[in-house]
Structure 1
Amino acid sequence: MPRKKRPEGTRAPNGASSIYFSEYDGKWHGRVTIGVKDSGKPDRRHVKRASEAEVIDEVRKLERARDDGKVRNPGRAWTVEKWLRHWVENIAAPTVRRNTLVGYRAAVYGYLIPGVGAHRLDKLRPEHLESLYRTLGTTKSRRGKNLRPATIHQAHRTIRTALSEAVRRNHITENPAKIARAPRIPEEEIIPFSQAEAAQILRACKDRHNGTRFVVALTLGLRKGEALGLQWRDIDLTKRTMNVRRSIQPVPWQHGCTSGTSTCGHRYAGHCPQRHSGGAIAQEVKSKAGRRTLGIPAQLVTALKAHRKAQEKQREETGDLWRDEGWVFTNYRGQVVHPRTDHNEWKELLKAAGVRDARLHDARHTAATMLLVLGVPSRAVMDVMGWSQIAMTTRYQHITSELTVSIADQVGGHYWPDEEEDGGSAAPVPA
């Protein structure tokens, strides 16, 4: 059916769609106002077909997509690369922590843009991402080893976050990264220290510089950055309380030699003579749950007092080179301890204690498990450990051999209340 003509002397309202025949090319044309460009000018989409019916059909599709909010961002033909660059530099950069931004940029520029950047944003499919993850699984790192599953999973989380923002802004209608199957991260077997192992470590801490720092890790379960971020003003040895307020995080250095044509020639920014904006940086703890006040055991109070006396002696010996910044645990000049140095000291401590090799974070698992052994309620455990979800108790608390035997003894005491423990295997007598 031919389209009705508008009465003479009238015109279409602003923003209305238009359909017309062009004698210049012999085609039917349609124009639909979708929205407004970044410049503020109207964004008019153009379609061209051989017949009027085809143009009408395309115009109606555009109008429905516009009215349903299912049209791509007005005025922009986003590619995945263009969106990722815009997101990480203009949306993420001003709002996230520096270390988070470093991870985002590494994933965006190192893996995502080379892998799927050429796709149109609205044409990206879950299968494209899954193919990328498989490819990354066989990609060699700088050290010549395959990328770790955790690295690939970081790329997945990054693009999922970036595309969620694109959905929120109506650039795309759904997030394919939420559908794509992310690579599985193998769970590491975590074995908390036994009571005997913990005792060996605590003994080895007594004669070491900053040994009390690891006593704090085992007894209170502070994260690495939280322990290194303690200042004396956070601790009240009289009231036996400790406030956790900040965390020390390693931040990559930035090259300071890239102005003009001058470069230092070093590959890594940490080796640049003009390096800047890096090192061990104090930051506020990430979550509200992380800001907490802990009680200090009396034995730890004694250890902290001895540590402070040793620190005062070190300050006198160092003289003018000492930088008094108020840190509880410092290097030999009063400055904050770098997390990498802290890691090396932990490894040396384990060797000195004659204990198996383990991550420093396993001390936190040990502290959480100790609370389980002591029967502390889950809600209180959350407060002590700085967790925001109760589910974290199942991740950090483990059944130790001592607890296993204790449970067995309780079971035996229930069924054989009048018998002595002799290691026998008598069956319970039915009631």
Structure 2
Amino acid sequence: MPRTPRPEGTRRPNGASSIYFGSDGKWHGWVTVGVKDDGKPDRRHVKRSDEGEVIEAVRELEKLRDNGKVRKPGRAWTVEKWLRHWVENIAAHSVRHNTFDGYRRSVYNHLIPGVGAHRIDKLQPEHLEALYKRMQTKTYRPERDKPLKPATAHLAHRTIRTALNEAVKRKHIVENPAKLAKPPRVEEEEIVPFTQAEALRVVEAAGKVRNGARFVVALALGLRRGEALALKWSDITIRWRHGCGEGSECATENRAVACPNRRGSGVVHIRRALQQRPWEHGCEPADSCRERPGWRCPQRHGGGMHVAETKSRSGVRKVGLPHQLCEALVRHREQQAADKKEAGTLWEEGGWIFTTFVGRPVHPSEDHRAWKRLLRTAEVRDARLHDARHTAATMLLALRVPLAAAMDLMGWSNPSVAKRYMHVPDEVVEAIAADVGDHMWTESKSRDDEDDDGAAGVPVPA
């Protein structure tokens, strides 16, 4: 049906959409969607061969305008251009170093080579899913002779999803295709916390090795590796009290710290974390020295041990010290004083609690090897050091510590994290079953007794 001409002498109001048949034999539509940076109206043009099609296109553009989903004017960026801009100019200044390093690897190693040539507004979920599938084949990186793990593809998915979320906020695109793309499934490794007997064997073995208190801290307090290795003596406060009776000779003549039956309690402040950062190439242009990885570059920079913030804002916290851990830390300090005397001028005083023989903080790799040696000495099953954190969290569950308090002690910012770390031990399952049995059958027996005696006011016949 042809369009009805407007009455003579009238005009459309400002900002109204317009549709007309052009001299080129095409139908044209213009829609005002906003204002450009220079203050001029931002009018978008659509062109179709059929009038009905251009009407539909104009309505769709008006709907996007009304919902605030119209992308910025100008030619859309390529995926490569946006990812480079996002990772170097946005993510670099807004996330922690380790997070940024993971983003950067995904962007330059996988996303740009895989989907970088697409226009950002033309990228489809299927393009991303095809990339994830290729990443898990042997032909993706022939030099490796094995496919990448699903976790690597999953990290690439999380990276581009985050990058495109920012593009949506800045109206470079209307929708994020990564939200619809299905990443590969990552099988979560089953975590089995140490039993009480296993933990005690590890603690006993830790008392016989250098820096053994570090692993007692891991099991009792559940600190993250970086948090434990970054502890300083100034972070710990220990208070002693007499363990002998009031009015005893020891209590009247000695300070509490000298009491043979002393009892200690204290607090440790978690303020920082120790991180091992990868080395980056310093040659120009990057990788021109042709050395892989970056730590082999003659002009390497940025790597090594760094003191950083805790994993999250909730990571800055106070944790109480049980008496047994206070005693272990005192013995550890005495051993450290002996190491310092033996090292002499080689000692580098930094106030660290856990150190090498010359006072430097312990490297995470050496910490890992020491943990594995300790497990063999204690004759317990092999486990990750991070499993000690799961053990500490599970202990809080067994002690029925309220979730809010457990979150503060463990440094969690989201309650959902507790589900991953708190595992219901067998003894708790058995105790619950016993409570259920006592409650159910006791109540049943009570009702039977009531029936026998004439429950609900019904007299028992003589």
Measured against the shorter chain, the TM-score band is: 0.7 to 0.9
Determine if the alignment matches structure 1 residue 241 to structure 2 residue 262: no
> Which residue pairs with 1:293 in the alignment?
318
Q: Which runs of 5+ in 1 are unaligned?
A: 418-426
**Counterparts in 2 of 1:30 and 1:339: CA distance versus 1, 3 Å:** same
1:135 is matched with which residue? Answer: 134
Distance in 1 (CA, whole Å) between partners of 2:441 and 2:19 is 92
Aligned to 2:96: 97
Question: Within the alignment, does 1:371 sit opposite 2:400 as a pair?
Answer: no
Checking the alignment, whether the CA contact within 8 Å between 1:251 and 1:278 is kept in structure 2 is yes
Larger CA Rg, structure 1 vs 2:
2
Determine the structure 2 residue equivalent to 1:394.
419
Distance 1:6 1:261, change over 3 A: farther
Report the 3-state secondary structure (helix = DSSP H, G, I; strand = E; otherwise coil) of the residue aligned with 2:413. coil
Task: Specify which of 282, 299, 314 is matched with residue 274 of structure 1.
Answer: 299
Cα deviation digits, residues 26-53 of structure 1 (max 9, x gap): 9888777766778999877666678999
Q: How far apart are 1:75 and its partner, in Å?
A: 2.1
Aligned ranges for residues 11-90 of structure 1 at < 5 Å?
Answer: 65-66=64-65, 68-90=67-89
Instruction: Return closer, same or farther for 1:309/1:6 CA change in 2, 3 Å cut-off.
Output: farther
Matched-pair contact (CA < 8 Å) for 1:37–1:75: no
The equivalent of 1:420 in structure 2 is none
1:111 and 2:110 correspond: yes
- Contact kept in structure 1, 2:35 and 2:41, CA below 8 Å: yes
Query: Which residue is equivalent to 1:315?
Result: 340
Equivalent in the alignment of 1:421: none
Q: Show structure 2 runs of 5+ residues with no match.
A: 240-264, 450-462
- Number of corresponding residues: 416
Partner of 1:166: 167
Q: For 2:106 and 2:187, how far apart are their aligned partners in 1?
A: 20
Equivalent pair of 2:273/2:307 in contact (CA under 8 Å): yes
Q: Which moved more, 1:38-47 or 1:157-166?
A: 38-47
The superposition leaves residues 246-282 of structure 1 with CA deviations (integer Å, 9 ceiling, x where unpaired) of 11122111122x1369954421111233322111211
SS in 1 for 2:275: strand
Cα displacement (A) at 1:408: 5.1
Give the Å deviation of 1:363.
0.5
Aligned counterpart, 2:210: 209
Provide the rounded CA distance (Å) in 2 between the counterparts of 1:84 and 1:262.
Answer: 20
1:94 and 1:204 mapped to 2: Cα distance? Answer: 44
| Distance in 1, Cα, partners of 2:189 & 2:69 | 43
CA RMSD in angstroms comes to 3.6
Secondary structure of the structure 2 residue equivalent to 1:242: strand
Matching residue of 1:185: 186
Q: For each residue in 1:195-247, what CA deviation from the matched residue of structure 2 results, as whole angstroms up to 9, or x when unmatched?
A: 11111111111122211110000001111111111111111122610011111
Q: Secondary structure at the match of 2:269?
A: strand
What CA deviation, in whole Å up to 9, does each residue of 1:360-416 have, x standing for no partner?
111011111112222322222222111223333322122323434444555666689
State the alpha-carbon separation in 1 of the partners of residues 431 and 404 from structure 2.
23
The structure-2 alpha-carbon separation of the partners of 1:144 and 1:334, relative to structure 1 and needing over 3 Å to count, comes to farther
Q: Secondary structure at the match of 2:315?
A: coil
Given the alignment of the two structures, is residue 331 of structure 1 paired with residue 360 of structure 2, yes or no?
Answer: no
Structure 2 contact 305–363 (Cα < 8 Å) conserved:
yes
Give yes or no for the alignment of 1:346 onto 2:371. Answer: yes
Looking at structure 2, the residues matched to 95 and 255 of structure 1 have their Cα atoms a distance apart, in angstroms, of 23
**For residues 177-202 of structure 1, what are the alpha-carbon distances to aligned partners after superposition, in whole Å with 9 as ceiling and x for unaligned?**
22222222212111111111111111
Q: TM-score normalized by structure 2?
A: 0.78
Rounded Cα–Cα distance in structure 2 between residues aligned with 1:41 and 1:415: 76
Given that 2:76 and 2:172 are in contact with CA atoms closer than 8 Å, whether structure 1 keeps it comes out as no
User: Tell me, what secondary structure is at the counterpart of 2:380?
Assistant: coil
- Matched residue type, 2:76: A
Aligned counterpart, 2:220: 219
For residues 48 and 434 of structure 2, the distance between their equivalents in structure 1, rounded to whole angstroms, comes to 84
1:194 aligned residue? 195
Amino acid of the structure 2 residue aligned with 1:84: L
Is residue 252 from structure 1 mapped to residue 251 from structure 2 by the alignment? no
Amino acid at match of 2:90: I
